[in-house]
A = this chain, B = another copy of it.
Amino acid sequence: MRAQRIRAGFVQTHPHFGQVSSNLERVERLVDAAPPFDLLVLPELFSTGYLFRDREEVASLAEPDDGPTVQSLLRLARERQALVVGGWPERAGDRVFNSAVLAAPDGSIRTYRKIHLFDREMELFDAGDRPFATWDVETAAGTLRIGVMICFDWVFPESARCLAVDGAELIAHPSNLVLAHCQDAMKTRCLENGVFAVTANRIADDDRGDLRLSFTGRSQIVDPRGTVLVRASDDREEIEVEEIDLEFARDKKITGRNDLLRDRRPARYPNLG
């Protein structure tokens, strides 16, 4: 049975660089205090922080997909009987990906490896080696078809488009945003694809002396018409949960005759493949 109404939310956090255990503990306390949810999205690299000095430092904090970060998310998923998505540096043999895991209450995981790396990430991580794809996942309300993209993937319209064409009803979007544009551009992403998006961003600075970045907060949930249902502050840890109606994301009609996906004309797109 397809899910209709689900409760989807985000956790906006302030990771402290390299302090994995305490970052995980704080997220667990935040989530313990959250209202009921079927899906919760955490930021990109929420357990480690973002501003790695070099590839060696990434390697020292990277974890396999049964490491502490994924285990923590699986524990939350089981305790809350809900889906939990969050980002971590994934060690896979010699490679390290900027990944996000979707942890399910049955103990299963699905992993997305960031395809479009941002700035210094190009030197720190391997680029995602798998195409964009969506997953059918079970919630207490029924089946949800979900896609995951990470942070800077937003600027490439192909990211959300691939997920929508593959059937995504909701895009989980763990982020560590520093540019000003994403939150508003995500309204376009939702509108053009007729999908919900949950962007979970972090706040505050990673200040490593000579390296420093400020993150913009303003995590949000956007509906398939581009309406922002809820948007967080730019400077506080927050959890928000909204009940959303997935039927809204299954009906791709934008006029009586126009369908956002069926009206695509690939034969007229000469150079996108």
Contacts and interface: CB of A to CB of B under 8 A. Distances in A.
Contacts of A270: 131-133, 162, 166
B265 A116 contact: yes
Interface residues of A, number: 49
A123 to B, nearest CB: 8
B273 A266 contact: yes
A52 to B, nearest CB: 15
Interface stretch (A66-74, A90-98, A183-191, A214-222): A183-191
A251 to B, nearest CB: 15
A29 interface: no
Contacts of A122: 257-258
Interface in A110-130: 115-116, 118-120, 122, 127-128, 130
A260 interface: yes
Interface string A244-273: 000000000011111010011111111111
A181 interface: yes
A38 interface: no
Given A120-B257, A161-B157, A132 B181 contact: no
Contact of A181 (B161, B191, B258, B271): B191
**Could you say how many copies of this chain the assembly holds?**
2
Contacts of A184: 184, 187-188
A165 B127 CA distance: 22
A122 B253 CA distance: 14
A269 B264 CA distance: 15
Q: Determine chain A's interface SS by DSSP, over half rule.
A: loop
A233 to B, nearest CB: 22
A158 interface: yes
Contacts of A162: 268-272
A217 B192 CA distance: 21
B272 A165 contact: yes
A226 interface: yes
A261 B179 CA distance: 18
Given A155-B191, A270-B133, A272-B161, A263 B226 contact: no
Given A119-B256, A120-B257, A158-B265, 11 more contacts: A122-B258, A131-B268, A132-B268, A155-B254, A158-B266, A161-B269, A161-B272, A162-B272, A181-B225, A184-B188, A266-B273
17 contacts: A115-B268, A118-B255, A119-B257, A122-B257, A128-B268, A132-B269, A132-B270, A155-B192, A162-B269, A162-B271, A179-B254, A181-B225, A184-B184, A185-B191, A266-B272, A266-B273, A272-B272
